[in-house]
Structure 1
C-alpha cells in the first residue's frame, strides 16, 4: 500500500505522489493565465469600452466574487468526488468563458464574462487538497506552499506574457492593437483544455488510487465534513488571515499594471513587467513560508505556526503602508518587493496549518479558507472603485487592515488536537501516515 510521502524531492517525478505534485502546481499555474490573463490588458479594454474608474472597480470585484462560491463547492467535491474529477470538470468549464470574453462589446457583457471566469480560482483548493493527501504531516506545509507558490507564479508571468501575446498578434497583422486583447485570451483558454486532459489522464485521487478504485474506510466520516469545518473556530481565523494575504495578492494582480500606467506613466508592456515582479516572488517566498512553518511546527506545534503567521502578516501590513507612501518608482518597487515577500510567506504559512485543523475534512477546510481569501479581495475591491479614494490611499488602508489581522491571529492561540500535535513531532514515516 502506498503511503503519503514524508519527503519532498522537487527534482523527482517518480511515483504517483510526485507526479501529482508537479501536475497540480503546473495546472494551477496555467489557471492563473485564464483567471488573470485579462488584467495586464485592462488599459486596452478600458479605452475601447470607455470604462470609468467605478466600472473598472466593479470588474475587479467581479473577477474574485464567483470564486468564493466556487471554492466552497470545490472543497466539498474534493472530499466526495475526488480532486482528479473535480479539477477536470473545473478546467473544462472555466476554459469556455476565458476563450469567449473576446466577444464582450459592452461594460455589462465584459463584467459578466469576468464574473464567470472567476470560478477558475477554485483550482487553488484542489491543488492544496491534492498535495495534502499525497504528503505526510511533517512535510505537508512545505508541499502545499511550494505547489501553491509555483502555481501563483502564473499571476506574475501572465503580466508579462499576455501583453506580449497581444503584441504578437498585432505584429503578425492578424488584428489591430485595440482588439488584440480579444484574440489573446483564446490562448490561455486552449491551454486549460489541454491541462484538463493531462490531469484526468495522469493523476490519482490518493496514493492508493482513485476514489472509485479503493475501499475508503473513512467513507462514513466524509458525510458532514463541511459542517465540521464550519464549527471549528480555527477555520475562521485562517479564513480571515488568508483574506489579509491572498486577498491582497489577487487584488494587486488585478490593479498593479493599471496602477503603474496611471501613477508612473509606464507603457503597457513596461507596466506588465513591473507588476510581474510582485508575482515572481512566488518562485520562492511562499515555499519559504511553508518550509519555515513546518520547522517551527515540528519544534513548537500549531501554536508556533500561528505565531509565525501573525508575524508574517504584521510585516506585510507595514510593507503595504510603505508602498502606499512611495513617491517615486524605485521606492515603489522596493517596498512592493518587501510586502510581497511577507505576503506570500503568509500564504504559505496559512496553508501549512490547514491540514491540521481537521484531517477528516481537509477539502472543506481548504475551501472555506480559500474562499476567505476571495472575500478579502472582494472587500478590498470596493476601496479601488471609490471615487473618493486614490489607489495610494486604498493601499494605505489595506496595510493598516492587514496589520490588525496580524494582531488578531497573534491573540487567537491556535492549537491542535493531541493526536495532530504529536504527529507533527514524530519522524517515523509510518507514524506520520497514521496521523
Structure 2
C-alpha cells in the first residue's frame, strides 16, 4: 500500500489525536472494506469463520428454523379441521392470525436491532415462539387454534434480524446478494416444512400411534419447537453482532455510540421511500406467505389430491427460495454496478410485473402439470422481487437500517393479511388469485417513484450529495488536520 493510501486508511479508521477504536478481531477470513466498518466485500459460502461468514450462516439458518416452527402447523390443518369440526373461515382466520401477529413484532424488532443487534433478538424470538408451537396438542377449538397461531406468529419477526444482521456485515456492493441469499435460504424453511412435517414427520408419527391421526398432529410439532429453542441458544453463543464484535463490547470500549430505538423508528417512518417499499414488499412477500397457507389446500381442492401429495407439490413454491431470491439480489447488485440506483429500481419493477402476470396465469390454468409449472415460475419471480426489495433497503437511510427493515418487513405480513382475507371471504380460489395478481401489477410501478438521497432516481439525477462525495470530503478534512 502506498504511503498516501495508508494515510487515508488511518484517517478513516481513527479520528485525529485519538487512539485506535476498539474492535474484537484484528484480521478476517474475507476481504473487508475498512471504510464501511469492516464489512465484507466477498462471500465465501464454504467458510464458517467468524465474524462475517459465521453471521452469514447463523442468520439464514435461524430464519430457516423460524419458518420451520412458524408454518409447521400448516400441513396439519386438514386433519385439525376434521377432528375439531372447523369451517374454512375458521381455518383461514387462524392463518391470518399467524401472519397478522408478526406485523407488530416486526415494527418493534426493527429499532431494537439498531440498539441491541440481531443476536440477542434471535434468541428471544426463537425460544419464545417454540413454547406455543410445543403446545399445539392442547388445541380443542377454533378460538384456541387462532390464539395458538397468533403467538407462534412472533417467529416471523425473525426476518428483521435476518436482513439487519446481513446488512451490517456485508458491504453495499454485495449487500443485495447477501441479503437475498440469507433470506432466500431462510424462506426455504416454508417449503421444507410442508415436506418434512406434512410428508415425513406426520406419517411417521401416525405410524407410531397405530394410525391415530389425532395423536399424530397433537405431538408432531414438538419437533420443530425443540429445533427452534436449541437454535436460538446456540446461535447466541457462537456468533457476533457485527464484524467488529458485539454491541455491548463496542459500547463499553467507546467504539459505538448508544442508539435511541425510538428515534431510529421515527426517522425510519419519516422517509417516504420506506412506505413505498412497505407496499411493494406486501405484494411479494405477502404473496409468498399467502401461498404458504393456500397452496396445499388449492391443489387438494382443485385437483382432488391427497393431503400428502398436495403438501409435496405445495412445497415446490418454497423450494424456489434455494436460488430465486438470491438471483433477485444479484440482479439488483449487477444493475446497480451498471446503472446505479435506477438499475435497482427498474429491476424491482420488472420482476414484480412478471410476478403479477404469472399469478393471473396460474389462476386460469386447468391442468395439474400446467398449474405446477406456472406456480414454480411465479414463485421464482415472487422471491426474486423480494431479493431486489432488500437490495434497496440498506440505501434508504443507513444509520436506521434496522427500523426500515422492520417496517418494510411488516409490509409483507400486511399483504398476507389482506390476501388471506380474500381467500377467506371468497368462495372461489380463482377469484382471490385474480385479485392478488391484479394488485401486484398495479403497485409494481411504485419503485419508479423512489428518490433516495445521495443517489440518482429513475426520473431525476443527483438527488442530494453523493455518499462517495461526502466520504471523500470527510477524508480531506481529516487528513489536512
* TM-score bracket, shorter-length normalisation: over 0.9
Equivalent residues of 1:81, 1:211 under 8 A apart: yes
Match in the other structure for 2:130: 95
Equivalent residue for 1:400, pick from 419, 430, 438 = 438
Q: What does 1:190-205 align with in structure 2 at a 5 Å threshold? A: 190-205=226-241
Cα distance per residue 1:383-418 (max 9 Å; x no partner): 0111x43111100110000000112333x1443425
Equivalent residue for 2:146, pick from 88, 111, 131 = 111
Equivalent residues of 2:115, 2:260 under 8 A apart: no
Equivalent residue for 1:229, pick from 268, 275, 279 = 268
Q: What does 1:181-196 align with in structure 2 at a 5 Å threshold? A: 181-196=217-232
Equivalent residue for 2:346, pick from 276, 292, 307 = 307
Hey, which bits of structure 1, 4+ residues long, moved more than 6 A? Answer: none
Q: Distance in 2 between matches of 1:104 and 1:179?
A: 12
Cα distance per residue 1:141-190 (max 9 Å; x no partner): 11100000000001101111102111111212367113311111110000
Q: Distance in 1 between matches of 2:393 and 2:132?
A: 31
Cα distance per residue 1:292-345 (max 9 Å; x no partner): 101111222222211110111100000000000011111111111111111100
Q: Distance in 1 between matches of 2:465 and 2:246?
A: 25
Q: Say whether 1:124 aligns with 2:159.
A: yes
Equivalent residue for 1:409, pick from 447, 459, 469 = 447
Equivalent residue for 2:82, pick from 19, 36, 47 = 47
Equivalent residues of 2:133, 2:222 under 8 A apart: yes
Match in the other structure for 2:417: 378
Distance 1:118 1:423, change over 3 A: farther
CA RMSD of aligned residues (A): 1.8
Q: Distance in 1 between matches of 2:408 and 2:138?
A: 34
Equivalent residues of 2:111, 2:265 under 8 A apart: yes
Match in the other structure for 2:6: none
Match in the other structure for 2:429: 391
Secondary structure of the corresponding residue to residue 260 of structure 1: helix
Equivalent residue for 1:170, pick from 190, 195, 206 = 206
Match in the other structure for 2:310: 271
Q: Distance in 2 between matches of 1:260 and 1:38?
A: 18
Q: Say whether 1:366 aligns with 2:405.
A: yes
Q: Gapped runs of 5+ residues in structure 2?
A: 1-22, 26-37, 456-463, 476-481
Secondary structure of the corresponding residue to residue 361 of structure 1: helix
Q: Distance in 2 between matches of 1:361 and 1:34?
A: 29
Displacement of 1:82: 1.8
Q: Distance in 2 between matches of 1:147 and 1:48?
A: 38
- TM-score after normalising by structure 2: 0.85
Q: What does 1:132-171 align with in structure 2 at a 5 Å threshold? A: 132-163=167-198, 164-171=200-207
Cα distance per residue 1:80-123 (max 9 Å; x no partner): 12211111111111110111122101111011001111110001
Higher relative contact order (CA 8 A, sep 6+): 1
Q: Say whether 1:69 aligns with 2:104.
A: yes
Deviates more, 1:298-307 or 1:238-247: 298-307
Equivalent residues of 2:166, 2:175 under 8 A apart: yes
Displacement of 1:267: 0.9
Distance 1:131 1:171, change over 3 A: same
Distance 1:81 1:217, change over 3 A: closer
Cα distance per residue 1:361-398 (max 9 Å; x no partner): 01100000000000010011110111x43111100110
Equivalent residues of 2:132, 2:152 under 8 A apart: yes
Q: How many aligned residue pairs are there?
A: 424
Q: What does 1:205-354 align with in structure 2 at a 5 Å threshold? A: 205-214=241-250, 215-219=254-258, 224-354=263-393
Equivalent residues of 1:303, 1:414 under 8 A apart: no
- TM-score after normalising by structure 1: 0.94
Distance 1:110 1:136, change over 3 A: same
Equivalent residues of 1:306, 1:414 under 8 A apart: no
Q: Distance in 1 between matches of 2:357 and 2:129?
A: 36
Q: Distance in 1 between matches of 2:205 and 2:113?
A: 39
Q: Distance in 2 between matches of 1:11 and 1:421?
A: 35
Cα distance per residue 1:170-228 (max 9 Å; x no partner): 21236711331111111000001110111111111111111110134443576611011
Secondary structure of the corresponding residue to residue 276 of structure 1: helix
Q: Distance in 1 between matches of 2:216 and 2:259?
A: 52
Displacement of 1:232: 0.5
Equivalent residues of 1:16, 1:204 under 8 A apart: yes
Q: Distance in 1 between matches of 2:329 and 2:420?
A: 28
